[in-house]
Each structure stands twice: as C-alpha cells, then as structure tokens.
Amino acid sequence: MSSLSLIIFLPILAALFLFLKRLNITVVKVIYMLVTFTVLYLSLELYINFDPEASMQFVVLHPWISEYGINYHVGVDGVSLGIVMMNAILMPLVAIALYKQRDKKGYWINLLFVQGGVMGAALSLDLMLFYLFWEIMLLPIFFMIGLFGYGKKNFIAMKFNIYTILGSLMMLISILYIAVAYKEQFGSYSFALDELKDLRLSSGESLLVFGGFMLAFAIKIPIFPFHTWLSDTYRSAPTGIVIVMSSLMAKLGTYAIWRFLFTMFSETSHEVAPYFIGLGLFGLIYFGISAMSQTHLKRMFALSSASHLSLIVVGFFIYDIYGLIGSSYLIVSHALSSAAIFLMAGMLYERTDTYSIAMLGGIARIAPKFALFFAFFSLSIVGIPLTSGFVAEVLIILGAFHYNIYVGFIAATSILIAMMFMFRMISRVLYGELRDATAGFEDLRMHELFALVPLALLILAMGIFPNYFIQKIEPTASSYTSQKEAPSYDK
C-alpha cells in the first residue's frame, strides 16, 4: 500500500476497529497515539521525499467504479502537502494536551475518523472520492458536538449539520452535472480532475456549477454571509473538534476552491474573482470588527479565525504567485496558531470553568508559563515579526497590491484588524487583578508543555526561515500561476 493510502486509511480503519471492539479507554488512547504517530512519521517521510521541483506526485490510481469513471485517485502537491502536514502534526499534539481530561472512547474514535477524512479530502484528485471524504468528515463532528459539547448543543449540532449538508448537496448536484456533461462531450463519464479541466461549458452553465461548489465551500470556510453558524458552533464544540474545524476543515474549504474550482473553471473563477476578493476583504474587516465586542473567549477566536480565512480566500482569488503562496502559508501558519490558541482556551476552561473574558484576569501573576504561551500564540495570530503569520500576511498583501492598489490597502488592514481585539483580550485575561475564577490557577503541566512547545517552535521556525518551507510550495505555485494567466487578469 502506498504511503498516501496508508495516511488516509490507517486512521479510518483504526477508528472502525475501535468502534467495533469494546476496548478499555487506556487501550483506546494508546492505539490513538500509535496511529497518529505512525501517520506523523509517514507524513514526515512524505515531506522529506517530496520533490519540490515537481508538482503532483506520489499519485495512486486504482479503478473503483470504472464504468462510471469513478476511480481511487490520490496525489500530493506543494499546497496539499501543507494541509497533510498540519493534520499529521496537530492530531497527536491535541491528544497529548487533552489526554487527561477526556475519558470517553467516542472522543478519540471520532478524532481518528476525522483525521482520515481530512487526509482523504486533501489528497483526492477524483471528485466523487473528494465528495465522499468531505461528507465523512462531517459525521464525527456532528457526534462530537452532540455528545461532548456545551450549551444548546443539540440544536447547534443539528443546525450546523443541516446547513453544511445543504451546501454539500449543491456540490453533489454540480459534480453529477459536470460528469454528465463530460459524457456528452467525450463519450464517457469522468470524475477525474485532470480530465474534467478539458470540459467546455457555456458561461451560464459553468457559473451555476461553480456556484454549487462554491456554496459548499463558502459555508464550510465560512465566507460572509454564510458565517452565522460559526460562533455558536465553536462555542459549543469540545476543544478537540474546534481545533479540527478551525485548523483543518475551514482550511480545507479554501484549499478546495483552489484545487477544484480554479482547475476546472479557470475562466469563470477569473470572472468572479473580483466579487470574491470583495467579499473576502469585507469579511476580513467585518469579522474582525465583530470580534471586538465579544465577551466569550471562544467566540472571539472563532470570529478571529473567520477574519483570517477571509484573507486566505482573498489571497487565492488574487491569482498571483505571492497571493497563492501567501495563502498556502497562511493556511499552515494559522492552523498552527489557532490550534494552539484553542488548546489553551480549553486548558483555561478546564481550570476556571469559564470562557467569559470579564471573569478572568491576573493569570500572569501565578502562571507565568501559561501567560507566556498564551500571549505568544495570540500575538502570532496578530502576525508579529518572526512568526509565520507575518510572512504569510506580507505575501498576501504584496499580491494584493500587485493586483490593485486599493485592494492592497484594504488587505493591508489585516495587520491592524486582529490586534484591535487581541491586545485588549490579552490584558484582561492575563494581567491585572486575580479574580475568583483564576485564583489558584495552575501553571502549565508537563504534558501540556509537550504539546505546546512544538507548535511554538514550528511557528517561530516558519517565521525566521520561511524560505526553507516555501521552497516546497513555490514550484507548484509558479507552475500553476504561469499556465493559468488569463487575459482578464491585468486590469
């Protein structure tokens, strides 16, 4: 079995095995660790063997439902490599940080399942396969919120699911439509990405199909105005799944825009790009300003994530090498930062039983390590120099200025937006007087440090030596932007 298939199916099979066998919780945790570390090892091997000069590699193609042109077709390139690595790195770290708190088997089984689903969706080169994995990811999230969530969890889980399924169904219709259209033009069904890009649709048709896909992605990311599920869902979801949603799933939505829509509907994407750049820039500012008045820590971080995701969307639609690399880099960088910050929010809740900013304070007096890491990760989201976010934001802003000077100025406000709420939040959570909730706040434990230190080091390494990492993305990006240069681009 190739390593890509192993990366995808090892977690899923392990999850199924654990689900069927009624094992002791300790054994479940051990197996979880073994599996995620194996995946991490395989992914690291993949990273090292990844040839930066080539774009798509490690391709596996097995016939599956061949008469309808559905195949098992996976491969990795510079951009998806980033998501695979994030997934592989975050999953074991999440477990290390949380292993003491969570003694429900379902928690770990669902997380394994999600890991496989995300890997599959990121690596698929076949639309049907992609759709399958895209939906598979959803189930564990539904169960996790329903079983382990907080607040009005049932209503929220249901709303989130119906909302995203609505989007996914539109995508399914679009997928089927283009498969049929392909048969009309070429004589057989196909769901393979590299074949479908030869498909010619009238502009009206392709706009509709594009819209179907886009709805699914826009809900998942989320892009304004499809964001209203976000803050409630993040608030209710348990820590493990918030990390999956903010660091992996949302990023997967932006990645899918690039991978599928830009490949298949290159011209339509160019035509609609100005609208999505506009929406993205609007979202960047709208979510940022919305976050300013939040009193609930997780909702604030949720809106902060949405703001950055809008910036990623802008970077992709700018259609330029700086924007593309910047967005890919921001995907990875923000995944690290937001995973870390949600982990720490979880630790905070476990110690204080509250997410309310007004009830916290003075933590830095008695828990200096916690304060240090919390401030560092918050600032890394703001994009201070020497962190990865800085590099990514500079690149996207450069791309934006390249595209259009006004777009550039609005994109550059991203260096202002996050800090407007982040600094005040840091002050109120960490500094000042101790409150009832924070009295006796316990500093970071050893296992929590084990989870957070690698994230911090990676963020720093990506900020200080970005060239080393970007060399893996650059050839993919430049081959892509050079061949996809459309006439409507230069205005």
Partner 1 sequence: MSDSTLLSTLLLSPLISAALIFFINMLFLNPRQSLFTFLALTGSGVSAVLALIVSYQSYFHAQVFTSHLFTWLSIGEFTIELALKADALGSFMLLFVAPVSFLIHLYASGYMDKDKSYGRFFTYFNLFIFFMFLLVLADNPIIMFIGWEGVGLVSYALIGFYFEDIQNTYAGNKAFIVNRVGDFGFLSALMLLFIEAGSAGFSFDSIFLSLAQIDPSMLSLIAFLLFVGAMGKSAQIPLFVWLPDAMAGPTPVSALIHAATMVTAGVYMVARFAPLYTMTPDISLFIAYVGAFSALFAAIVATRQYDIKKILAYSTMSQLGFMFMALGVGAYSTALFHMFTHAFFKGLLFMAAGYIIVAFHHKQDIRELQGIRKSLPLLFVMMFTASLSISAIPPLSAFFSKDAIMGALYASGHVELFLMALVASLLTAYYMFRMVFVLFYSQKTQSTKKSSKSMLYPMVVLTVLSVFAGLLNLPELFGGNLNISNWLNLLDKELLLPHAKELLLISVNTLLILGVILYTYKRYAYTQAIHKESQENLVAKKFYVDEIYTLLITQPLHYLSIFFEQKISHGIIDRLINLSALYYARAGILFSYLENGNVRFYALYMLIGVVSGFVYLYWALRGVL
| Choices 114-122, 233-241, 342-350, 380-388; region in contact with partner 1 by CB under 8 A | 380-388
| Residue 281 contacts partner 1 per CB under 8 A | no
Helix (H, G, I), strand (E, B) or coil at 299: helix
Pick the binder of partner 1 from 39, 470, 472, 480 (CB under 8 A): 470
**CA distance linking residue 50 with residue 55, whole number of Å:** 9
Nearest CB to partner 1, comparing residues 99 and 401: 401
Residues 6+ apart with CB under 8 A from 27: none
| Residue 228 contacts partner 1 per CB under 8 A | yes
Helix (H, G, I), strand (E, B) or coil at 379: helix
| Residue 361 contacts partner 1 per CB under 8 A | yes
Nearest CB to partner 1, comparing residues 56 and 372: 372
Least distance to partner 1, CB of residue 233, Å: 12
- CB contact at 8 A, 259 and 80: yes
Pick the binder of partner 1 from 151, 188, 358, 385 (CB under 8 A): 385
Least distance to partner 1, CB of residue 464, Å: 8
- CB contact at 8 A, 253 and 316: no
Nearest CB to partner 1, comparing residues 206 and 388: 388
Q: What single letter denotes the amino acid at residue 146? A: G
Render 45-106 in DSSP notation, one character per residue.
HHHHH--TT-SSEEEEEEEEEGGGTEEEEEEE-HHHHHHHHHHHHHHHHHHHHHTTT---HH
Nearest CB to partner 1, comparing residues 252 and 407: 407
| Residue 483 contacts partner 1 per CB under 8 A | no
| Residue 216 contacts partner 1 per CB under 8 A | no
Nearest CB to partner 1, comparing residues 254 and 378: 378
DSSP letter, residue 428: H
| Residue 360 contacts partner 1 per CB under 8 A | no
Q: What single letter denotes the amino acid at residue 221? A: I
How many beta carbons lie within 10 A of that of residue 356, not counting itself? Answer: 12
Q: Which two tokens stand for residue 163?
A: 């909302």
Nearest CB to partner 1, comparing residues 58 and 390: 390
**CA distance linking residue 304 with residue 381, whole number of Å:** 9
Phi, psi of 438 (to 5 degrees): -100, -5
| Residue 323 contacts partner 1 per CB under 8 A | no
| Residue 420 contacts partner 1 per CB under 8 A | yes
Pick the binder of partner 1 from 17, 408, 454, 479 (CB under 8 A): 408
Tallying the residues shown for the chain, one arrives at 491
CB burial of residue 353 (10 Å; 0-12, 13-18, 19+): exposed
* Site track 426-465 with partner 1 (rule: CB under 8 A), x = hit: xxx-xxxx-------------------------------x
Phi, psi of 291 (to 5 degrees): -65, -25
Pick the binder of partner 1 from 103, 409, 486, 488 (CB under 8 A): 409
Nearest CB to partner 1, comparing residues 96 and 400: 400
63 pairs with which residues across the strands? Answer: 71
Nearest CB to partner 1, comparing residues 63 and 225: 225
Nearest CB to partner 1, comparing residues 193 and 462: 462
Alpha helices in 222-360 (DSSP H): 228-236, 239-243, 250-256, 262-264, 266-292, 297-317, 321-352
How many beta carbons lie within 10 A of that of residue 395, not counting itself? Answer: 24
Nearest CB to partner 1, comparing residues 19 and 401: 401
70 pairs with which residues across the strands? Answer: 65
Least distance to partner 1, CB of residue 398, Å: 5
| Residue 419 contacts partner 1 per CB under 8 A | yes
Q: How far, in whole angstroms, is CA 445 from its chain's centroid?
A: 27
| Residue 401 contacts partner 1 per CB under 8 A | yes
| Residue 41 contacts partner 1 per CB under 8 A | no
* Site track 135-174 with partner 1 (rule: CB under 8 A), x = hit: ------------------------x--xx-----------
Least distance to partner 1, CB of residue 364, Å: 5
Phi, psi of 330 (to 5 degrees): -70, -35
- CB contact at 8 A, 40 and 95: no
| Residue 484 contacts partner 1 per CB under 8 A | no
Residue ranges that bind partner 1, judged by CB under 8 A = 159, 162-163, 225, 227-228, 286, 289-294, 321-322, 325, 361-362, 364-365, 369, 372, 379, 384-386, 390-391, 394-395, 397-398, 401-402, 405, 408-409, 412-413, 415-416, 419-420, 423-424, 426-428, 430-433, 465-467, 470-471, 474, 478
